[in-house]
Each structure stands twice: as C-alpha cells, then as structure tokens.
C-alpha cells in the first residue's frame, strides 16, 4: 500500500465523517440554545426574586413607619386622657368617665388602636408573602 492510499480514507469512512461533521454544528447550536435558555431563565428568575424582595422590603418599611406614627398618636392620646382626667378630678368633677370630653378621647384611642392592629396584620401579611408562581416557573424549567 502506498502512502497516498494510507492517507486517503475509504468511501465509507468519508461518508460517516461527513455525516458527523454535518450534525456536529446543529448539536452545538442546540446545546448553545439550551444553555442560553437556562441562563436566561435563571436570570429572569433572579431578577423577579430580587425585585419582589425589594418591593416587599419597601412595603414593610413604609408600614413600619406608619405604625410608628400611630403609636406616637396613641401615646399622645393617652397623655391627653391622663391630663384631662387629672384636671377634671382636681376640679371636683364626679363620674369623670361619663363626660363627653373623656369619651371622645377614648373613642379616638379605640380607633387608633384598631388602625394599629390592622397595620400590624398587614405587616405580618407582607412578611409572609411569597414570590408569585409565574416567577418561579423559569427556575423549575432550568
């Protein structure tokens, strides 16, 4: 056998080699596309999670600020009530709890406490909020 014959592939070897080379770019493209899709899905999921958590934190902070302001109002109403009761007692008033001024402050206190309780429930709801299911799907597919 000559050197040329040894280097030249047979016809069947040439066909198999050509078929492998023809499929190889397609396989590479498919793998590249699959990898790109996984990366994109993970990126979208990470972005959704990050924006959800940031928005959740923003809501929590705002509710905490509102709750703090309400607690200050409750403290001020307690102080007003205490001062009013003390002033009325010094004036010798009887049945202080039945006076309209005292009842108004008590009603205001009840409203403030109800608002504070509602805010505390909202804070708890926000804390327990979970990422929407649509945002979780890409991670499942990845």
79-103 pLDDT, tens digit per residue, is 999 999 999 999 998 888 899 999 9
Window from 20-29, 54-63, 93-102 with minimum mean pLDDT:
20-29
The confidence score (pLDDT) of residue 12 equals 52
- pLDDT over threshold 60, residue 20: no
Q: Are 96 and 102 in contact (CB under 8 A)?
A: yes
DSSP 8-state class, residue 9: P
70-97 in b/e form (b: 16+ CB < 10 A) is: beebbeebeeebeebbeebeeeeeeeee
The confidence score (pLDDT) of residue 30 equals 86
The confidence score (pLDDT) of residue 130 equals 86
Q: Are 66 and 119 in contact (CB under 8 A)?
A: yes
Q: What is the pTM of this model?
A: 0.62
The confidence score (pLDDT) of residue 29 equals 85
Largest separation between any pair of C-alpha atoms in the chain? 131
The confidence score (pLDDT) of residue 88 equals 92
What is the band of 25 on the pLDDT scale with cuts at 50, 70, 90?
A: confident
Question: Mean pLDDT in the chain?
Answer: 83
- pLDDT over threshold 90, residue 6: no
């Amino acid at each position: 056998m000559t050197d040329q014959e040894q280097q030249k592939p047979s016809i069947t070897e040439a066909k198999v080699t050509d078929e492998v080379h023809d499929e190889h770019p397609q396989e590479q493209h498919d793998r590249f596309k699959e990898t790109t899709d996984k990366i994109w899905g993970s990126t979208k999921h990470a972005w959704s999670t990050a924006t959800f958590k940031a928005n959740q934190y923003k809501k929590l902070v705002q509710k905490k600020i509102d709750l703090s302001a309400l607690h200050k109002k409750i403290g001020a109403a307690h102080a007003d009530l205490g001062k009013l009761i003390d002033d009325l007692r010094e004036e010798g008033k009887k049945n202080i709890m039945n006076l309209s001024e005292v009842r108004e402050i008590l009603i205001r206190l009840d409203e403030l406490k109800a608002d504070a309780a509602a805010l505390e429930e909202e804070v708890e709801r926000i804390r327990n909020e979970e990422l929407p299911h649509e945002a979780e799907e890409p991670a499942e597919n990845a």
